[in-house]
Amino acid sequence: MTKAHLGTAPDQNIQSQQMHDLICRLFPICRSITGDGVRQTLGIIQEQIPLEIHEIPTGTSVFDWNIPREWNIRDAYIKDSKGERVVDFRKCNLHVVSYSVPFKGKVKIQDLKKHLFTLPEHPDWIPYRTSYYKETWGFCLSQKQLNAMTEDEYEVCIDSTLQEGSLTYGEHYIPGETADEILLSSHICHPSLCNDNLSGIALMVALFKYVNQEPRKYSYRFLFIPGTIGSITWLALNEARASSIKHGIVVAGVGGEGGFTYKRTRRGNAEIDRVFSYVLRNSTDASSILDFSPYGYDERQFCSPGFNLPVGCVMRTPFGQYPEYHTSADNLEFISLEALFDSVDKCISAVKILEANRAYSNQNPKCEPQLGKRGLYEALGGQRQTKVNEMAILWVLSLSDGSHSLLEIAEKSGYEFDSIKNAADLLAGHQLIK
């Protein structure tokens, strides 16, 4: 190893502030699984990552699915008899059930109620609902708004279009020394929700900035895709390429409360699983590891049995386990700079370990090599002056039989990965391991 794979962490405040600024800019946009909101979002990300934008036409078959019609919306409201908007899409885009078909007309309140969704247990919050694959229309509103609707009839308008178009996603590939890839994927299909959706996008942009400036062994693929149909589409169009993915993470919900959470790959013992176990075991805050389950974000598709890719998922409190999830309370106040920074910091730690992790072979395996005559004893004796730990050197020599990776040596020895890596660099420099 000649190249330094351990770069300096960018300034914490600047980095988390940049993530937060991006989230604030993306927040007002009405996104869905297709449509101009996705294009606008990708356009803003493109200011920081040179994304390739893909447009996949409606009707294209992708495994067992088809690319749906494209949905766009300009306006929607419910007006009372005085002509006042009692529910107004322009005030909050969560008010319209995503993929609502166009509708215009007067509706009796008892019929209208079949199209209205509220959260009685949180009377000020607006829920987030979708109806991608069933043609219907609806509004989401707070329970307080609904309680105030006392008239017999309302004027309803959903000025949307659902027509032939395309599904849009963004992709950026950064080549490394090898064609082996690390996949980083985030969904881009939610409207004004911060933690679920925008925090993941912001983390990916921060990771891109880190990876792009560092020397790297791996190639990196960044995907900004609509949830579920986006990963299915990418896999269908890139089936041959998928085998290059050696490690991957789906990033979702990384700015909210709760400790960092890593969900294992379907394999359960992939290198990425071990790397995150190591990173979290060595972190002092509350963090947790979940086993794989076939529910969640796009890891469901990447880990489907026909691919079984080593792709885990990073988040904080898992989706559905915090009351703000999929409601208007998942807003700019819900996320924090600290959580965003902690999430990106742990992901960068994982990337650093993946980059540096490898197995060496001891070139002098019959009895210990004489370290003193190579000047290594000074390094050993002067632990406090140098970064190389004597015991770490002995562990690397002992376990470098070609099958133990540096991460495994760190796990077995209890020494920090950086310490083991520094010892390996020193020994490799003296041709004692290769």
Footprint of Zn ion on this chain (CB under 5 A)? 196
What is the dihedral angle through the alpha carbons of 363, 368, 373, 375, rounded to the nearest 10 degrees? 80
Tokens matching residue 10: 């960018």
- Let me know how many helices (H) and strands (E) the chain has, helices first: 13, 18
Report the Cα–Cα distance between both ends of the chain, in Å, rounded: 9
Question: How near is the Cβ of 288 to Zn ion at its closest, in Å?
Answer: 20
Bridge-based pairing of strands 288-290 and 261-263 is: parallel
Which pair of structure tokens corresponds to residue 427?
């020994």
Per the CB < 8 A criterion, the answer to whether 38 and 32 are in contact is yes
- Nearest residue (CB) to Zn ion, 294 versus 402: 294
**DSSP per position, 15-77:** HHHHHHHHHHHHTT----SSSHHHHHHHHHHHTTS-PEEEEEETT-EETTEEPPPEEEEEEEE
User: What are the backbone dihedrals phi and psi of residue 155, each rounded to the nearest 5 degrees, phi first?
Assistant: -95, 125
Closest to Zn ion by CB, 331 or 398: 331
Minimum distance from residue 266 beta carbon to Zn ion (Å): 21
How many other C-beta atoms lie within 10 A of the C-beta of residue 413? 19
Q: How far is the CB of 58 from Zn ion (least distance, A)?
A: 23
Q: Is 406:341 a contact under the CB 8 Å cutoff?
A: no
Residue 128 C-beta: closest distance to Zn ion, Å: 7
What's the closest the beta carbon of residue 295 comes to Zn ion, in angstroms? 12
Exposed/middle/buried for residue 32 (C-beta within 10 Å: 0-12, 13-18, 19+): buried
Q: How many CA atoms lie within 13 A of 140 on its CB side?
A: 24
Could you say which DSSP state residue 318 is in? P
Query: Minimum distance from CB of 297 to Zn ion (Å)?
Result: 8
**Residue 127 C-beta: closest distance to Zn ion, Å:** 12
Cβ proximity of 354 and 275 under 8 Å: yes
Instruction: Name which of 196 and 345 has its Cβ closer to Zn ion.
Output: 196
> Is the Cβ–Cβ distance between 344 and 10 less than 8 Å?
no
Q: Minimal distance in Å, beta carbon 32 to Zn ion?
A: 12
**Closest CB to Zn ion among 71 and 77?**
71
Residue nearest to Zn ion (CB): 196
Counting Cβ atoms within 10 Å, is residue 401 exposed (0-12), middle (13-18) or buried (19+)?
exposed
Q: Could you give the residue ranges of the DSSP H alpha helices within 185-296?
A: 200-213, 229-237, 271-281
Shortest reach from residue 187's CB to Zn ion, in Å: 7
Quick count: other Cβ atoms within 10 Å of Cβ 367? 6
The β-bridge partners of 57 are: 166
Closer by beta carbon to Zn ion, 10 or else 68: 68
Q: Which is nearer to Zn ion, 36 or 196 (CB)?
A: 196
Residue (318 or 365) nearer to Zn ion, CB: 318
Residue 160 φ/ψ, nearest 5 degrees = -120, 165
Residue among 176 and 256 whose Cβ is closer to Zn ion? 256
Q: CB nearer to Zn ion: give 196 or 273.
A: 196
Torsion angle defined by CA atoms of residues 209, 214, 216 and 220, in that order, rounded to the nearest 10 degrees: 0
**Closer residue to Zn ion in complex, CB, 260/322:** 322
In the complex with Zn ion, the residue whose CB is nearer, 196 or 299, is 196
- Closest approach of Cβ 227 to Zn ion, in Å? 7
Residues present in the chain in total:
434
146, 127 contact by CB (below 8 A): no
User: Looking at beta carbons only, is 132 or 210 nearer to Zn ion?
Assistant: 132
Beta carbon of residue 251, minimum distance to Zn ion (angstroms, whole number): 13
What's the closest the beta carbon of residue 191 comes to Zn ion, in angstroms?
Answer: 10
